[in-house]
Amino acid sequence: MAGNFGLLYPIVRLVVGILIVVMLILRIMFLLDHFSTLVVSEIVWLIFAFVTLMIGLIGVWKEHFLFTILFILIHLVLYLIGYSYAFYYDNFMIGTMILSAIFAYMLHASGHQEMNMPKC
């Protein structure tokens, strides 16, 4: 359901999905490369990052407004709290947050305003 956005809607949706998958791959690579040197706080951080990225992936895949908004908010909190972490790639995060906000606006404007859990 593209609403008034035409071809921009599927392009933004696809780009956000690709960015989230790339971020998941980067987190997995970081975990595999530095597993023996991670401290507990970094492991907890990675768990929150994985959960947040999965929420975002579900939001993009199911075109779900609540999950997209949750992804943006949690991602913003993780970014602001963990700004000093070198493994948290700033360019991907900022780009993903901006495109996710655009995608959330497109969802809201085209009638996708779901606030319940998505159906599998």
The pLDDT score that the predictor gives to residue 18 is 92
75/96 Cα distance (integer angstroms): 9
The distance in angstroms from the start CA to the end CA of the chain is 19
H-helix segments, the chain: 8-33, 40-61, 65-81, 90-109
Q: Summarize pLDDT for 68-109 with one digit per residue, the tens.
A: 888 888 888 887 777 655 455 567 778 888 888 888 888 888
Amino acid at the residue 1: M
Measuring CA to CA, which residue among 118, 9, 111 is closest to residue 56? 118
Q: What is the pTM of this model?
A: 0.81
Q: Among 71, 69, 65, 70, which residue's Cα sits nearest to residue 109?
A: 65
Return the DSSP state at 88. Answer: S
Percent of the chain predicted with pLDDT > 70: 82
Q: What's the confidence (pLDDT) of residue 21?
A: 92
> What's residue 2's pLDDT?
55
Of the candidates 35, 57, 51, 49, the one whose C-alpha atom is nearest the C-alpha of residue 81 is 49
Distance of CA 107 to the CA centre of its chain: 15
